[in-house]
Structure 1
Amino acid sequence: MTLIPLVGSGAYQLATQWQMEKTQANQAPAVGASTAQLFLSLEQERRLTAEAQADPGTASRDKLTKQRAMTDQAVSAFRPLAAWDTTAWDTTDAQPRLANAIAGTERTLGLLAQQRRAVDAGSSNKQRAFDYYSGIIGSIFGVFTAVSHSYNADVSAKTQTLVDLFGAVDMIGREDAILARGRKTGHLTSDEYGLLVDAIGTGKYLLQSRVAPSLTGNEIDPYRTMTTSKAWETKTALEKRLVTADSAAPLPQVGAEWRSSGDAVTSQLLRLVGLRSKNADRIAFSSVDQLFAVLISVSAVGLLAVGLVIVTSWRLTAILRRRILDLREDAQKLQERLPDVVARLERGEDVDVDAEVRLVEPTPDELGELGHALNLASRSAVFTAVRQAEQHRGFERLLQRIARRTQILIGLQLKKLDELERKHEDPEVLEGLFDLDHLTARLRRYEENLVILGGGQPQRRWRKPVRLLDVLRAAQGEVQDYRRISIEVEDEPWVTERAVGPLVHILAELMENAAAFSKPPTPVEVRAAMVSRGLAVEIEDRGLGMEPEQYAAANALMQSPPQLDVMTHADDVRLGLYVVARLSASLGLQVELRPSAFGGTRVIVLLPEPLVVDRPRAVPGPAALPEEIPRDPAGPQPHPLDGTDGPRPPHEDGQLPTRSRGRAMADVTAPAGSPDRSDAAASSDPQPLPQRVRQASLVTELRAPADSGEQTGQETWAVRDLPSRSGATIGAFQRQSRRTRPADDAFQPPANGSPEPGSPTTEDRG
């Protein structure tokens, strides 16, 4: 990458220089020829203009007219140069630049016609005409100077001598014009004489000091021939006479001799100019060819060097890249092996650290040292993963062991509470026992959370399908603020036995969250209905809800629950969601959280069709519920029964009776074999239940005044269509059902006193 710009920059500079020199070599002959022709034409017109002003005869006028026509042709040939692309001479040392010089000459030539008319009309004197033509010739020398500057030093030296030769020719032309002005009068003014002497001295300086030392090769002999010729000697002698003559004395008669010698010397100088031009063009084109050869050579060598560097770099890079990719592949394999090692450790397999680490063969360079470091890192990573996985697995076993032991104590506590609830009938005592029963059910769920987070599964098992309404009531019984939860179930769906325990736990966690994150006394609505893909349960609260990002994160958690590290998530408030996600994944449930129309959160739990069963053919009444769902609807008991604990048969439609606080059911308080109960049971049509007025059986002296807020005896018991029931009524109904159940159907503990597996007091309670 570094060599390519260097080679490209060098080649670009050579190509630019080659292009410039080629342009100069091609344009210089055309520019020089047109400019030289204009120069010679103006030299002749300046001399003839001076002769016509000195002797306005017919002959001189005719010569001037012919010369003007020739000058016009030269001007026409020069004007196209102004449209040329002269950027090849646009360099810092070309002063004046060619474009500016051509433009200056063009502007001066624009006044040529005006000057001619002034000369013809006699309004322009000799000196003004002389100055004008000399000015035009001076601007032409600017073009010569600009063309003489080249990128090639040899070409510049050759062309600079050409400028000096044209300068010598111009000095002879100046002498002609000045002498023509005094040829008729025979004398010159002091100013004219000074101009003549200056022209003679300048011409001599240019030829002897600048032209002669720079001549080489075939240019020396023509110059020597010119300086030794008779015309040169005559011109030199005449110039000496003119210089030594007094300005006030009459002008020496040098007309014919000067004309012949001056024309001969000028012709020899122009021949030397042509020879010098050819030599300069030959050097310029030779330089262009050499520069092109250098450009090709440098470009070829540069490209070869770049190709060699690219191939070498590619080879080295390929070798290094292959070795680096090997190291990267080893690192990726290590990354893939670590989760596999951890998974094997979680399954209880033994892992050999040395067998799991693939050592990289070391080499005596930096990559070898990197491979050795990778070996150490791989071994350390696998060893650390093994240690951490073993510690995590041990912690999970310890957590499950502690939770299981606690669950045993909770089961014993629930059993003891059952015994106490059967023995006591005092409403106040029962209310306290029911509160303890509710707290114990919640504690059992929390312990199951620890078991699930520790990698285990809940121990509660059911042997038969359970009605969804009972499942929802069981989940409601494990929620602290259960009074705010309303349940509504369409039809009468049943849940398969293997999904009862996990589903109760999932619904209890979601109900708990809904009640905890919504402000009392707003309700938490639970609705269940069959849908096209199974059974849908909706739990909707009226809390503050969550942000869209939180909903997305929660739904992602439900779709793919991670392997939770309890130690690193001890402070995470979403442990309940982890439990729901784990249990849902084990059953194949779909749980989705959405914003509620009330501003809270709506959770949709979809049970697939395999977990939903039809109603069994022989379904026991609600009295058989404890055999399938242990105590779950009896958990929340805010209001115990008032004074009675007799058997209470269900109605024929399967609905349980409900009552208001402070009102007892006569049918419930009746003995098991009472005529009223048997008649009611035998009757084909359900009869309204009798009413009982509180304290009606007491004498007047023993009656306590009724509370102002208590309702009168107008309240009656009725069978409600809604699925919500009083927990106290259900608990009392269960107890009396157990008492009146036949001996072969009632639950009998084994003789050793340990609970039967799968019974409500052991497995069903966790």
Structure 2
Amino acid sequence: MDDGNGLAGPSGDGPRRRGGVRRLPLRTVLLIVVFVPSLTFAPLLASGMNQLFTQWQAEKAQMDLATTTVGVPASALFFGLDRERRLTAEVLAGSASARAELTEQRRVTDQAVAAFRPLTALDVPDAQEGLADAIARTDRGLGLLAEQRRAVDAGRSGAQRAFDYYSGVLESGLGVLTTLGRTDEGQVNREAQALSDLYWVVNLLGREDAVLARGWGTGRLTRDEYVLVSDAIGARNHLMRSRVIPALKGDETPYAKLTDGKAWATMTAMEERLITSAPEGDQVTLRGDSVAWRSSVEAVTGQLRQLLDLRFENVSKIGYDHARMVFTVFVSISSVGLLALALVIFTSWRLTAILRRRILHLRHEAHELQERLPDVVARLERGEDVDVDAEVRTLQPTPDELGELGQALNLASRSAVLTAVRQAEQHRGFQRMLQRIARRTQILIGLQLKKLDELERRHEDPEVLEGLFDLDHLTARLRRYEENLVILGGGQPQRRWRKPVHLLDVLRAAQGEVQDYRRIAIDVEGESWIAERAVGPLVHVLAELMENATAFSRPLTPVEVRAAPVSRGVAVEIEDRGLGMEPEQYDAANDLLRSPPRLDVMTHADDVRLGLYVVARLSAGLGLKVELRSSAFGGTRVIVLIPESLVVDRPRAVPVPEEVSSPREDARPAHEDGDLPARSRGRAMAHVTASASPERDDAPASSGLRPLPQRVRQASLAAELKVPAARDERTGQEFAVRDQPGRSSAAIGAFQRQSRKRRTGDDASRPGQGGSAESSSPTTEDR
């Protein structure tokens, strides 16, 4: 349909018109209004700004190098090497007192060298010309420092050789300091020249001091040493009078009288007596007091260093002031140019102000949603209730594109929060259902264990007992699997102990919950006891790892379990001989064990690593450190580190069943009345032995044969692992571990036959029936 202007389109889809002007896309409008007028003025402004900025950047970079980056390490290195040069000369001259000072000074110099060495890798485009070469020369000289020191200590280096080495390195360092004063600003260069002259004055005084240190002990100098001292004195005095003192100004002028001071006068008087001394052949007599010389030199050096610091501050101030002035000019020109540019784009801003505010408002709302949604999810994970209407703020829509965008943002915000709430409620509901089912199943498993115990005490048929024992073992494993469901559902195992348990018993308890328990070999070093709060979770963790080792290794291959105390607790190693895993799989498994994520059971139903999730959750709660590694056998080795906080001392009194407490006391009766031990509730067979020969099955009770051991339930467990009978009735749960889950039918039959015969013969030996209690009392025998 033609609208009369030559433009046609379907309603709502094609270009729409307002006031006879076709509406362009928002991005196109902003680009035309803002950039087209600005492009005519921006290049000129940018050129002037770039020139000023480059100059300011170069001056500032050079001042930073001179004052901090290079200047400070180079100055510290200079003074350290200067002092080490003098102390080395004293040591080579035979001064024993200087040895300790030299050792300490070497340590200080090494610190300065360590701070200077990284400067060789310095890459500053605006650095002073020649600075990199000067640093490299100094670094090459420092590379021979260790060798020179060894030569001095071993007596292989002469005094002159050591002097030449240190003087050469010091001159290289002075080259670095001199180069730092050559900046792009002329005034800084002029003021820095006096600073370099001061460094040379200190160096010449150090040269003189190092040469004189050779002769104070003997009172003589060689002719060559005399020449070195004379040259140093002359050059130093020339620099001080002709270049340093005339350059002092401002707060530096008080140091112009440095040469009139007492220390300087003492030093120059001794130098004058030395210079005027007449040579005697190849030697010159050194007249003067070494103590007075040392005192005056130290005082003069201290004054020179104070003047150096003051001059350094003044030069730095001049350089930074000029750099700031350049920066001020840069900012001023930039401000004026930007103001002009702002005038050019003022009309554009008027057109785009409303659009910008609305776009920024929408962006702000989007950012708030981005920040608010994770907070809502975190609150839902903590179990808090979230009101969707309160969390979503509605934007007022307008009849244009931005209004449609705001409406879409409203719908997206509400949908995202509502979806998060529904997913969290569904996840929590599933977890509650999973825990409820698992808890109920655990109660049934506890009742099943109780029923199996009653059947084991009721039946004496070896084949029936063997089947019942197998069912008992399967039920214990089923209980562990149900606990896995509780843990995956966000709960914790319910098994609790009130006393510490021996580590060996904990390992045996974990072994008893594994299907192929016969393949597991346990080796424990030391006497370690586990705190009562950690027994249940630790048994669960070890059982899961043992089960994994047996499941992923070939049948009949052994699984070795070793435990031993280490410096930070107790380490348990579980090693199988399976196929192992790839290195990236080990890394992924260890990452999972170190940082267990919050598991969504519904999205990880097919994940084969659910056992690792259980181990990771329990380990994180106990503070265990579990790590998987490759085994030398090709399988996997798991290391479980039990921290010291979970390892306790052996309890003072550990209750042991009477029947097995003293198995080696053959002469002591087990019961005073002579009766066989009675079977009672809560007892199961602990040791089965048929030591009596079949030919003596019919022997009377008074023949002196000792009875077979009792069948005592939970006798193979430590006292801390035993579950009281009252608790069986209250919770219907039991944690029973036996040394040998499988029973020999022949052994069980022998136990039953011997027990019946002993009971038959016991009737005739009771007191009051013609028998003697003492003559038929059974004794406990070590079997």
TM-score (norm. length: structure 2):
0.44
Larger radius of gyration: 1
